[in-house]
Chain A
Amino acid sequence: AQSVTQPDIHITVSEGASLELRCNYSYGATPYLFWYVQSPGQGLQLLLKYFSGDTLVQGIKGFEAEFKRSQSSFNLRKPSVHWSDAAEYFCAVGVSYGGSQGNLIFGKGTKLSVKP
Protein backbone atom coordinates (compact mmCIF):
# COMPACT_ATOMS: atom_id res chain seq x y z
CA ALA A 1 0.00 0.00 0.00
CA GLN A 2 1.11 3.54 -0.64
CA SER A 3 2.36 5.49 2.37
CA VAL A 4 4.36 8.54 3.31
CA THR A 5 6.56 8.81 6.38
CA GLN A 6 7.78 12.01 7.93
CA PRO A 7 9.99 10.80 10.76
CA ASP A 8 10.30 14.13 12.56
CA ILE A 9 7.16 15.31 14.35
CA HIS A 10 8.67 18.59 15.54
CA ILE A 11 11.86 20.41 14.60
CA THR A 12 13.27 23.63 16.04
CA VAL A 13 15.89 25.65 14.18
CA SER A 14 17.43 29.05 14.72
CA GLU A 15 16.59 31.83 12.32
CA GLY A 16 19.20 31.93 9.57
CA ALA A 17 20.12 28.27 9.99
CA SER A 18 19.66 25.70 7.27
CA LEU A 19 16.72 23.29 7.28
CA GLU A 20 16.08 19.80 6.03
CA LEU A 21 12.73 18.04 6.51
CA ARG A 22 12.70 14.34 5.77
CA CYS A 23 10.13 12.45 3.75
CA ASN A 24 10.11 8.80 2.71
CA TYR A 25 7.45 7.23 0.55
CA SER A 26 6.28 3.79 -0.41
CA TYR A 27 4.72 3.56 -3.85
CA GLY A 28 4.88 0.90 -6.54
CA ALA A 29 5.10 3.10 -9.61
CA THR A 30 6.74 6.42 -10.44
CA PRO A 31 5.56 8.72 -7.68
CA TYR A 32 4.12 12.18 -7.98
CA LEU A 33 5.49 13.99 -4.93
CA PHE A 34 4.48 17.19 -3.21
CA TRP A 35 5.33 19.37 -0.26
CA TYR A 36 2.61 21.54 1.26
CA VAL A 37 2.85 24.06 4.09
CA GLN A 38 0.10 24.91 6.56
CA SER A 39 0.30 27.98 8.77
CA PRO A 40 -1.87 28.11 11.90
CA GLY A 41 -5.52 28.44 10.96
CA GLN A 42 -4.72 28.40 7.27
CA GLY A 43 -5.30 25.97 4.45
CA LEU A 44 -2.61 24.02 2.66
CA GLN A 45 -0.30 25.87 0.29
CA LEU A 46 1.77 24.05 -2.31
CA LEU A 47 5.51 24.63 -1.92
CA LEU A 48 6.75 22.44 -4.75
CA LYS A 49 6.07 19.27 -6.69
CA TYR A 50 7.93 16.55 -8.56
CA PHE A 51 6.38 14.77 -11.51
CA SER A 52 9.36 13.80 -13.68
CA GLY A 53 12.62 15.11 -15.05
CA ASP A 54 15.17 16.97 -12.96
CA THR A 55 15.28 15.41 -9.52
CA LEU A 56 16.09 18.73 -7.80
CA VAL A 57 12.94 20.78 -7.68
CA GLN A 58 12.73 24.46 -6.83
CA GLY A 59 9.69 25.84 -5.07
CA ILE A 60 8.32 29.02 -3.60
CA LYS A 61 9.75 30.88 -0.62
CA GLY A 62 13.28 29.62 -1.31
CA PHE A 63 12.51 25.95 -0.72
CA GLU A 64 13.85 23.07 -2.76
CA ALA A 65 13.49 19.30 -2.63
CA GLU A 66 15.44 16.42 -4.09
CA PHE A 67 13.87 13.19 -5.31
CA LYS A 68 16.07 10.17 -4.66
CA ARG A 69 14.52 7.04 -6.10
CA SER A 70 17.16 4.74 -4.58
CA GLN A 71 16.30 5.98 -1.10
CA SER A 72 12.56 6.50 -1.71
CA SER A 73 13.01 9.99 -0.34
CA PHE A 74 11.90 13.51 -1.16
CA ASN A 75 13.52 15.73 1.45
CA LEU A 76 12.72 19.42 1.68
CA ARG A 77 15.52 21.94 2.20
CA LYS A 78 16.05 25.62 2.74
CA PRO A 79 19.48 27.22 3.14
CA SER A 80 18.42 29.97 5.55
CA VAL A 81 15.22 29.82 7.59
CA HIS A 82 13.13 32.91 8.33
CA TRP A 83 10.83 33.33 11.34
CA SER A 84 7.87 33.36 8.95
CA ASP A 85 8.68 29.78 7.93
CA ALA A 86 7.32 28.51 11.25
CA ALA A 87 4.43 26.27 10.22
CA GLU A 88 3.55 22.64 9.65
CA TYR A 89 4.92 20.91 6.58
CA PHE A 90 3.31 17.98 4.83
CA CYS A 91 4.83 15.64 2.29
CA ALA A 92 2.40 13.84 -0.01
CA VAL A 93 2.37 11.30 -2.83
CA GLY A 94 -0.24 11.42 -5.59
CA VAL A 95 -2.08 8.21 -6.37
CA SER A 96 -2.29 7.50 -10.07
CA TYR A 97 -5.50 6.34 -11.74
CA GLY A 98 -4.74 5.04 -15.21
CA GLY A 99 -2.23 7.79 -15.83
CA SER A 100 -4.23 10.58 -14.25
CA GLN A 101 -3.64 11.87 -10.77
CA GLY A 102 -6.10 10.88 -8.08
CA ASN A 103 -6.05 11.66 -4.41
CA LEU A 104 -3.03 12.56 -2.27
CA ILE A 105 -1.66 10.44 0.54
CA PHE A 106 -0.12 12.63 3.21
CA GLY A 107 2.52 12.12 5.83
CA LYS A 108 1.69 13.04 9.42
CA GLY A 109 3.46 16.37 9.07
CA THR A 110 6.47 18.05 10.65
CA LYS A 111 5.94 21.10 12.79
CA LEU A 112 8.71 23.66 12.38
CA SER A 113 9.51 26.15 15.12
CA VAL A 114 12.00 28.96 14.51
CA LYS A 115 14.08 30.44 17.34
CA PRO A 116 15.03 34.12 17.08
Chain B
Amino acid sequence: GAGVSQSPSNKVTEKGKDVELRCDPISGHTALYWYRQSLGQGLEFLIYFQGNSAPDKSGLPSDRFSAERTGGSVSTLTIQRTQQEDSAVYLCASSLVAAGASTDTQYFGPGTRLTVL
Protein backbone atom coordinates (compact mmCIF):
# COMPACT_ATOMS: atom_id res chain seq x y z
CA GLY B 1 0.00 0.00 0.00
CA ALA B 2 0.94 3.63 -0.36
CA GLY B 3 3.00 5.32 2.31
CA VAL B 4 2.67 8.80 3.72
CA SER B 5 2.75 11.38 0.96
CA GLN B 6 3.46 15.09 1.20
CA SER B 7 3.10 17.95 -1.22
CA PRO B 8 4.72 19.95 -2.52
CA SER B 9 8.14 18.35 -2.25
CA ASN B 10 9.77 21.78 -2.47
CA LYS B 11 8.37 25.24 -1.81
CA VAL B 12 10.15 28.54 -2.26
CA THR B 13 8.37 31.61 -0.98
CA GLU B 14 9.05 35.20 -0.14
CA LYS B 15 9.20 36.50 3.38
CA GLY B 16 5.75 37.57 4.59
CA LYS B 17 3.78 35.21 2.34
CA ASP B 18 1.53 32.43 3.64
CA VAL B 19 2.20 28.79 2.73
CA GLU B 20 0.21 25.57 2.98
CA LEU B 21 1.81 22.16 3.22
CA ARG B 22 -0.21 19.00 2.69
CA CYS B 23 0.06 15.54 4.19
CA ASP B 24 -1.79 12.39 3.12
CA PRO B 25 -1.38 9.75 5.82
CA ILE B 26 -1.47 6.00 5.32
CA SER B 27 -5.06 4.91 4.84
CA GLY B 28 -6.66 3.87 8.13
CA HIS B 29 -4.06 5.52 10.34
CA THR B 30 -5.77 7.50 13.06
CA ALA B 31 -2.78 9.42 14.38
CA LEU B 32 -0.98 12.12 12.40
CA TYR B 33 2.08 14.14 13.39
CA TRP B 34 3.96 17.11 12.00
CA TYR B 35 7.66 17.63 12.66
CA ARG B 36 10.18 20.20 11.48
CA GLN B 37 13.79 19.41 10.62
CA SER B 38 16.26 22.28 10.47
CA LEU B 39 20.03 22.50 10.65
CA GLY B 40 20.17 24.32 13.91
CA GLN B 41 17.37 22.60 15.80
CA GLY B 42 17.31 19.04 14.51
CA LEU B 43 13.93 17.28 14.44
CA GLU B 44 11.23 19.08 16.41
CA PHE B 45 7.67 18.02 17.11
CA LEU B 46 5.03 20.52 16.00
CA ILE B 47 1.52 19.10 16.35
CA TYR B 48 -0.27 15.78 16.85
CA PHE B 49 -3.77 14.68 15.82
CA GLN B 50 -5.38 11.56 17.25
CA GLY B 51 -8.79 10.58 15.96
CA ASN B 52 -11.46 13.08 16.93
CA SER B 53 -9.60 14.35 19.97
CA ALA B 54 -8.40 17.91 20.24
CA PRO B 55 -4.93 18.16 18.70
CA ASP B 56 -1.82 18.54 20.80
CA LYS B 57 -0.40 21.87 19.62
CA SER B 58 2.30 22.11 22.24
CA GLY B 59 5.15 22.06 19.71
CA LEU B 60 3.97 24.90 17.47
CA PRO B 61 6.66 27.62 17.66
CA SER B 62 4.35 30.61 17.24
CA ASP B 63 0.77 31.57 16.46
CA ARG B 64 1.76 31.95 12.81
CA PHE B 65 1.65 28.15 12.63
CA SER B 66 -1.61 26.22 12.48
CA ALA B 67 -2.78 22.87 11.23
CA GLU B 68 -6.02 21.11 10.54
CA ARG B 69 -7.04 17.63 9.70
CA THR B 70 -10.18 17.20 7.64
CA GLY B 71 -12.29 14.09 7.87
CA GLY B 72 -9.71 12.36 10.00
CA SER B 73 -7.41 11.96 7.01
CA VAL B 74 -5.59 14.68 5.07
CA SER B 75 -3.84 17.36 7.06
CA THR B 76 -2.70 20.84 6.10
CA LEU B 77 -0.01 22.79 7.93
CA THR B 78 -0.29 26.52 7.36
CA ILE B 79 2.42 29.05 8.08
CA GLN B 80 1.33 32.67 7.93
CA ARG B 81 3.63 35.62 7.27
CA THR B 82 6.62 33.35 6.72
CA GLN B 83 10.00 34.32 8.12
CA GLN B 84 13.44 33.19 7.02
CA GLU B 85 13.82 31.13 10.20
CA ASP B 86 10.84 29.05 9.02
CA SER B 87 13.07 27.55 6.30
CA ALA B 88 13.28 23.84 7.06
CA VAL B 89 12.04 20.43 5.98
CA TYR B 90 8.55 19.74 7.28
CA LEU B 91 7.89 16.08 7.90
CA CYS B 92 4.57 14.37 8.39
CA ALA B 93 4.10 10.97 10.03
CA SER B 94 1.15 8.73 10.70
CA SER B 95 0.51 5.73 12.89
CA LEU B 96 -2.22 3.19 13.44
CA VAL B 97 -3.32 3.41 17.04
CA ALA B 98 -5.46 0.33 17.55
CA ALA B 99 -7.95 0.13 20.38
CA GLY B 100 -6.23 -1.10 23.51
CA ALA B 101 -2.76 -0.72 22.03
CA SER B 102 -0.38 1.48 23.90
CA THR B 103 2.26 1.94 21.30
CA ASP B 104 2.68 2.05 17.58
CA THR B 105 5.19 2.89 14.89
CA GLN B 106 5.22 6.25 13.16
CA TYR B 107 5.74 6.15 9.41
CA PHE B 108 7.24 9.25 7.87
CA GLY B 109 6.63 10.96 4.57
CA PRO B 110 9.45 12.34 2.39
CA GLY B 111 8.95 15.87 3.65
CA THR B 112 8.43 19.31 2.14
CA ARG B 113 11.52 21.50 1.88
CA LEU B 114 10.46 25.09 2.56
CA THR B 115 12.77 27.93 1.63
CA VAL B 116 11.84 31.46 2.66
CA LEU B 117 13.74 34.14 0.76
Contacts and interface: CB of A to CB of B under 8 A. Distances in A.
Contact of B43 (A32, A90, A99): A90
Interface string B38-50: 0000111100101
Contacts of B31: 101
Please name the 3 residue pairs, one residue from A and one from B, whose CB atoms are nearest each other, closest first.
A106-B43, A44-B108, A103-B45
Given A51-B102, A101-B97, A103-B45, 16 more contacts: A36-B108, A43-B109, A44-B91, A44-B108, A45-B108, A46-B106, A94-B103, A97-B56, A100-B103, A103-B33, A103-B35, A104-B35, A104-B43, A104-B45, A105-B45, A108-B42
A100 B91 contact: no
Interface string A100-115: 1111111111000000
A103 B56 contact: yes
Main secondary structure of the interface of B (DSSP, over half): strand
B33 to A, nearest CB: 6
Interface of B: 4, 31, 33, 35, 42-45, 48, 50, 56, 59, 91, 93, 95, 97, 101-111
B102 to A, nearest CB: 5
Nearest to A6: B42
Give the interface size class of chain A. 20 to 34
Nearest to B44: A106
Contacts of B35: 103-104, 106
A7 to B, nearest CB: 14
Nearest to A41: B110
A106 B103 contact: no
B42 A101 contact: no
B106 A32 contact: no
Contacts of A32: 103
Contacts of A103: 33, 35, 45, 48, 56, 59
